[in-house]
Amino acid sequence: MSLIVQKYGGSSVANPDRIKRVAERVAGYKKKGHSLVVVVSALGDTTDDLLDLSGQITTSPSRRELDMLLSTGEQISMSLLAMALHENKCDAISFTGGQVGIVTDSSYTRARILDISTGRIREELKKKRVVIVAGFQGVNPRQEITTLGRGGSDLTAVALAKALKADACEIYTDVEGIFTTDPRLVKDAQKIKKISYEEMLELASSGAQVMQSRSIEVAGKYDIPIHVRSSFSYKEGTWIVKEDRSMEDVLIRGVSMNKNEAKLTVSGVPNRPGVAAAIFKSLADSGINVDMIIQNIGKMAATDISFTVPKTEASHAVNSLKKISKKIGLKEITQDLNVAKVSVVGIGMRSHAGVAAAMFEVLGQNKINIEMISTSEIKISCVVKKTDAEKAVKLLHDKFELGKKK
Ligand code: ASP
Ligand code: MG
C-alpha cells in the first residue's frame, strides 16, 4: 500500500466541524490500507490573528519571538486533528516540526529546511498510526523554533514527501484545483488538469495564491508530483508535474493578477554608472524584494527609475531610499499604491511567437494603459491601473481562449 503525504490548509481546518470532516477523510484513506502523514496549517486566519496580536504589542517584534508565537497556530490544529481521528477510532499522533526532526537554518520567519530525519515518523507509521505534523515550522540546529515563511505548510508537505519518498503528495484546499484564472472573477475559468512546475511557479509568484512558491520550487527540483485538490470533494484536482511534450500545445496556461504590489518611482536619478547599483543595494540591504524594474531613457543628465515592491514594504522602501537620496542626488521618490500586475503564463510561449503583441493589443484596444512590462521565457506581466486589472484579466482570459467551450 502506498505512503501518502496530505496537507490541509487553513480553510480546510478552519473550525471543529471542518476538522472532523478532515478526520473522516483521513480515516477513510487509512482504512483502505494507506500509510498517512498529514500536515496541517493553522485554523483559518489564526496566523494573521497572531500577527495582529503581536502588532498590538510592538511594531518591531523580535523575529525569534515572532516565530515562537506563529508556530503555536499549527500546534492547535495538529492536536485537534489527532483528537478527531481518535474519535474516528483511528490511531493517530501529532508532532511539532522539531519533534519530527525538521531542521532549518536560523533565518527566523523565513527559514530554509536543511534536513529532515524521518526516523520518528517511520517508527510511528510502523505502529499503523496516522502521523500528523505541524506545518510551517522547524527548529534550527540549536532547537530554536523557526517558521518557513507564509504559506510554509506546503513546503513542509513537499519536503516530507521527498524525505519519506512518499508515493503521493496531496495539497488540500478550499478550491478544486488550479484554475485558468480566479473563478470568482471570471465565471468560465476552467480547472487545469496538468500544469508544469515552472508554470505553477510563475503563476504563484505573479498572484495566484494557491501554493507557496518555495514549495513548488522544491517540488520541481526533486520532481515530486503534487496533486492540488479540494478537501470538500473527492474530485480529481490539478496535477503539478514535470513538463512533457503535450503541454507545449497550450499557448497560455493561465492568467493571474496581483494587487499587492506598489509602484515606486525615483526621479532625477543621475545618469552615470553605479547609481542603479546604489539604489537597489540600499533596498536589498533593507530586505526589500524588488519585482519589476524599468529605467526610462535619460535624455539629459538625469533619468527616472520605476520598480515594484510588495505593498507592505513600500513605505519601508521609500524610507531606505530617502537615506541615500542626498548622497547620490536623487530628486524625488513617489509611490503609487493604485496599481496591479496582470500576467499570462504558459510554456507554449517558448515555441509560439506573438503572445506579447496579442496581449498588448487587447489591452490597448480596450483603453487599458500599460505602465510597466516584464517578461520571462514563459510569462508576460503588465502593470496597469488597479481599477483596470479585473477587466484586463477577463479580456486576456477570453483572448487566449481559456474559458470553457461554449
Ligand atoms: N499558517 C501559516 C500561514 O498562514 C502557514 C500555512 O498556512 O501554510 O502562513
Ligand atoms: Mg494559512
One digit per residue, pLDDT tens: the chain, 406 residues? 799 999 999 999 999 999 999 999 999 999 999 999 999 999 999 999 999 999 999 999 999 999 999 999 999 999 999 999 999 999 999 999 999 999 999 999 999 999 999 999 999 999 999 999 999 999 999 999 999 999 999 999 999 999 999 999 999 999 999 999 999 999 999 999 999 999 999 999 887 778 999 999 999 999 999 999 999 999 999 999 999 988 888 889 999 999 999 999 999 898 888 999 999 999 999 989 899 999 887 667 788 999 999 999 999 999 999 999 988 888 899 999 999 999 999 999 988 889 999 999 999 999 999 999 999 999 999 999 999 999 999 999 999 999 977 6
How many A from CA of 363 to the centre of ligand 2? 34
Give the nearest ligand 1 atom to 9 CA: 7
Identify which ligand lies nearest to the alpha carbon of 40.
1
Out of 148, 174, 200, a domain closes at: 174
Give, using CA atoms, the residue closest to atom 9 of ligand 1: 150
191 lies in a domain? Answer: no
Letter string b/e over residues 279-314, b meaning 16 or more CB atoms within 10 A of that residue's CB? beebbeeeebebbbebeeeeeeebbbbbbbbbbebb
162 and 297 share one domain: no
Are residue 156 and residue 290 in the same domain, yes or no? no
Question: How many structural domains does the chain have?
Answer: 2
Same-domain pairing of 149 and 52: yes
Asked whether residue 246 is assigned to any structural domain, the reply reads no
| Shared domain check, 381 and 274 | yes
Q: Is there a single domain that holds both residue 148 and residue 274? A: no
CA of 69 from ligand 2 middle (Å) equals 15
How, if at all, do strands 339-345 and 379-385 pair? antiparallel
Q: How many Å apart are CA 203 and CA 344, to the nearest integer?
A: 8
Cα of 234 from ligand 2 centre, angstroms? 22
Q: Given this model, what pLDDT does residue 406 score?
A: 61
49 occurs within a structural domain: yes
Record the pTM: 0.91
Residue 208 lies in a domain: no
169 lies in the same domain as 288: no
Instruction: Report which bound ligand comes closest to the CA of 135.
Output: 1
Q: Is residue 195 part of a domain?
A: no
Q: Which ligand is the nearest neighbour of the Cα of 73?
A: 1
CA of 100 to the centre of ligand 2 (A): 21
Pocket test residue of 12, 40, 47, 74 for ligand 1, highest count of atoms within 8 A of CB: 47
Q: Tell me: do 24 and 130 sit in the same domain.
A: yes
| 141 lies in the same domain as 273 | no
Here the CATH number for the domain that contains residue 350 is 3.30.2130.10
State residue 10's pLDDT score.
Answer: 96
**Which residue in this structure is represented by grid cell 500509510?**
35
With a Cβ cut-off of 6 Å, ligand 1 is lined by 9-10, 41-42, 47, 73, 135-136, 150-154
Q: Are residues 160 and 272 in the same domain?
A: no
pLDDT at 365: 97
Q: From 70, 136, 211, give the residue whose CB has the most ligand 1 atoms within 8 Å, as the site to mutate.
A: 136
- pLDDT for 297 equals 74
Q: Which of 183, 218, 220 is nearest to 199 (CA)?
A: 220
Asked whether residue 267 falls in the same domain as residue 157, the answer is no
Cα separation, 115 vs 113, in Å, equals 6
Q: Is residue 367 part of a domain?
A: yes
Residue 246 identity (one-letter amino acid) = S
Last residue of a domain, one of 174, 207, 231: 174
- Identify the pLDDT of residue 218: 97
Q: How far apart are CA 302 and CA 297, in angstroms?
A: 9
Same-domain pairing of 23 and 148? yes
Ligand 1 atom at minimal distance to the Cα of residue 153: 8
Write phi, then psi, for 243 (nearest 5 degrees).
-70, 145
**Where in the sequence is the domain holding 98, given as residue range(s)?**
3-174
| Distance from C-alpha of 307 to C-alpha of 316, rounded to nearest angstrom | 14
- Whether residue 226 lies inside any domain: the answer is no
| Cell numbers 505541524: residue | 134
Q: Do 134 and 276 have their domain in common?
A: no
Last-in-domain residue among 174, 199, 219: 174
* The ligand 1 atom nearest the CA atom of 10: 7
How far apart CA 239 and CA 232 sit, in angstroms, is 17
Give the model's pLDDT for residue 298. Answer: 67
CATH number for the domain that contains residue 48? 3.40.1160.10
Residue 103 lies in a domain: yes
Q: What is the Å distance from ligand 2's center to 81 Cα?
A: 16
**Are the CB atoms for 289 and 309 separated by under 8 Å?**
yes
Which of 82-113 are b and which e, b meaning 16 or more Cβ less than 10 Å from the residue's Cβ? bebbeebebebbbbbbbebbbbbeeebbbbeb
Distance 217 CA to ligand 1 centre (A): 17
